[in-house]
């Protein structure tokens, strides 16, 4: 499937919202069922998005941040695996098989971005001490922007390159026994 420019922009917007929501936990847009369904709607195959989202949701039910522990990134795994399945014409099992390492990679990105935003927090403390509410607001929005880009940049890169031979080679390298077993579990 050829992804249009409008679809890439919509994937970017959904990925940004999911990235911010994975920190805010306000409306749960980062949960697999919601994120996959939205990406499925953007790419024109909501049914597949719902199936992938439901399957990933069952896997991710126990993933949560506790104390300083950072959970695997369900938002990154959901969005990229759904793009790969729908636009890359892959099986749902292949998407699920890719979701777990994607969640681990997203976990690393989350730790990196949270480490970077510590500087924003210290600057926000100084802005609050000085009564500079404008700077405080900008620091808050800037740190959320980094969280959005943590999901959106990889998602757009995958959406642009999903039809290339390198990506297809990677997806075809997944053993059939893995994908067929996950296909059975997803249905």
Cut 0.85: pTM above it: no
Check residue 45 and report its DSSP letter. -
Ramachandran bin of 63, using left for φ above 0, alpha for ψ from -120 to 50, beta for the remaining angles: beta
What angle is formed at CA 60 by the lines to CA 6 and CA 105, rounded to 5 degrees? 65
Domain ranges of the chain: 5-186
| pLDDT averaged over 10-residue windows placed end to end, the chain, 187 residues | 89 94 84 94 94 91 78 91 91 87 90 92 94 93 93 92 66 67 59
C-beta atoms surrounding 146 within 10 Å: 17
Alpha-carbon span 162 to 3, nearest angstrom: 9
Task: Return the ∠ at Cα 46 (arms to 95 and 184), rounded to 5°.
Answer: 40
Report the first-to-last Cα separation within the chain, whole angstroms: 23
Quick one: pLDDT at residue 181? 64
Distance between CA atoms of residues 138 and 151, nearest Å? 21
Reported as type and span, the H/E element at residue 11 is helix 5-24
Q: 40: Cβ–Cβ under 8 A, 6 or more apart, which residues?
A: 46, 47, 48, 49, 50, 52, 53, 82, 86
Give the residue among 167, 171, 162, 164 at the shortest CA–CA distance from 8: 162
């Amino acid at each position: 499937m050829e992804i249009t420019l409008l679809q890439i922009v919509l994937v970017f917007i959904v990925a940004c919202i999911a990235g911010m929501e994975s920190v805010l936990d306000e409306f749960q847009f980062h949960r697999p069922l919601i994120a996959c369904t939205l990406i499925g709607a953007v790419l024109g195959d909501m049914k597949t998005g719902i199936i992938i989202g439901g399957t990933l949701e069952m896997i991710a039910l126990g993933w949560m941040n506790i104390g300083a522990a950072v959970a695997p990134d369900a938002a990154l795994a959901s969005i990229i695996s759904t793009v790969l399945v729908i636009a890359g014409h892959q099986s749902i099992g292949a998407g699920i098989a890719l979701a777990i390492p994607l969640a681990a990679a997203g976990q690393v990105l989350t730790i990196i971005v949270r480490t970077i935003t510590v500087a924003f927090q210290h600057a926000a403390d100084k802005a609050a001490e000085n009564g500079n509410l404008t700077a405080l607001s900008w620091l808050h929005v800037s740190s959320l922007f980094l969280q959005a880009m943590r999901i959106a940049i990889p998602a757009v890169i995958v959406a642009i390159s999903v039809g290339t031979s390198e990506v297809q080679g990677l997806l075809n390298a997944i053993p059939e026994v893995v994908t067929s077993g996950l296909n059975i579990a997803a249905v």
